């Protein structure tokens, strides 16, 4: 249907679209509701009413989970790993993407190596990687886990940033070089600031991936004082029974920081990914 050159959806199509969106919203939000509501219930109420709204709200499970997770220490370990990896990735991956896009030729082979790393699952290289880390005596050390994360997150970062570097006008770099600027000054003074949106997107995606990861820190970190926040949740598992209210409370404590970060930076994530899809 078209009125005055504008296209309008029929009421039936509008209803189908709204109904489909509502179903998708319920499917995605219902598990989240179950987690938060279960964390606020007593064990007896959770057993009798697992999927309903809590009749009596209690926060005792959060305090128990906070203590059992060693929350402050495990959060500090996770923040150290995330900060170190994100800082390294933003600088190194942007420089690699710049070299690949501007030099071409033999650097294209390096780009394909990054793509191969993106397509290879971690489970496939897990055993040889652990053996290599053990040979270098980096198991159970934060620096070892940081190095592994840097290698695992680099392919995704280079892949996303390469599409943005191609959109930076070469004339800006040529003008700087005419004025006597070297390649490093040209990159950090001209190109790097123009990559603000994709850099924020890459940083947030890396943060989410590392914060929520369970397998890698469980594999490379064993000492209690070195554990990350997700691995401490495994301490809640009992031999014959589990305190699900406390487990859900622990999940909430893990999710809260990332939820706040996402709500603050969601526009950068959406803009960065959609712009990369168009410009890349």
pLDDT at 131: 94
Contacts of the segment 50-54: beta carbons below 8 A, 24+ positions apart: none
What whole-number percentage of the chain has pLDDT above 90? 42
Summarize pLDDT for 24-42 with one digit per residue, the tens: 999 988 988 999 999 999 8
Neighbours of 88 (CB within 10 A): 18
Whole-structure pTM value = 0.86
Count of H helices and E strands in the chain? 13, 2
Summarize pLDDT for 244-275 with one digit per residue, the tens: 888 899 999 999 998 888 888 777 766 666 65
pLDDT at 9: 61
Contacts of the segment 241-247: beta carbons below 8 A, 24+ positions apart: 243/43, 243/61, 244/38, 244/43, 244/46, 245/38, 245/39, 245/41, 245/42, 245/43, 245/46, 245/61, 246/61, 246/64, 246/65, 246/68, 247/65
Which residue, 98, 79, 80, is CA-closest to 90? Answer: 98
Residue 143 CA to residue 64 CA, distance in Å, equals 30
pLDDT at 49: 84
Which residue, 257, 255, 164, 169, is CA-closest to 202? Answer: 164
pLDDT class of 278 with cuts at 50, 70, 90: very low
Token pair 């940081």 in the structure block, residue: 146
**Per-residue pLDDT at 223 exceeds 60:** yes
What whole-number percentage of the chain has pLDDT above 70? 91
Summarize pLDDT for 142-185 with one digit per residue, the tens: 999 999 999 999 999 999 899 889 888 888 888 888 888 888 99
């Amino acid at each position: 249907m078209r009125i005055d050159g504008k296209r309008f959806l029929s009421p039936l199509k509008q209803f189908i679209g709204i109904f489909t969106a509502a179903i998708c919203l319920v499917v995605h939000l219902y598990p989240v509701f179950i987690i938060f509501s279960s964390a606020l219930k007593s064990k007896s109420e959770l057993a009798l009413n697992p999927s309903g709204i809590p009749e009596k709200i209690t926060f005792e499970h959060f305090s128990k989970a906070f203590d059992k997770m060693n929350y402050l220490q495990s959060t500090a370990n996770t923040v150290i790993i995330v900060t170190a990896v994100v800082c390294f990735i933003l600088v190194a991956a942007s420089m690699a993407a710049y070299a690949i896009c501007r030099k071409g030729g033999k650097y294209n082979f390096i780009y394909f190596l990054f793509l191969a790393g993106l397509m290879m699952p971690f489970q496939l290289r897990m055993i040889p990687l652990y053996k290599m880390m053990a040979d270098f005596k980096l198991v159970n050390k934060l620096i070892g886990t940081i190095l592994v994360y840097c290698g695992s997150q680099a392919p995704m970062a280079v892949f996303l940033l390469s599409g943005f570097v191609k959109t930076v006008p070469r004339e800006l770099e040529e003008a700087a070089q005419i004025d006597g600027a070297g390649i490093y000054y040209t990159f950090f003074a001209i190109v790097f600031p123009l990559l603000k949106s994709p850099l924020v997107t890459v940083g947030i995606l890396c943060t989410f991936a590392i914060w929520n990861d369970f397998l890698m820190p469980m594999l490379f970190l064993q000492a209690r004082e070195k554990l990350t926040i997700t691995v401490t949740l495994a301490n809640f598992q009992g031999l014959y029974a589990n305190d699900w209210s406390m487990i859900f409370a622990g999940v909430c404590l893990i999710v809260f920081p990332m939820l706040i970060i996402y709500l603050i930076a969601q526009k950068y994530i959406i803009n960065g990914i959609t712009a990369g899809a168009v410009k890349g």
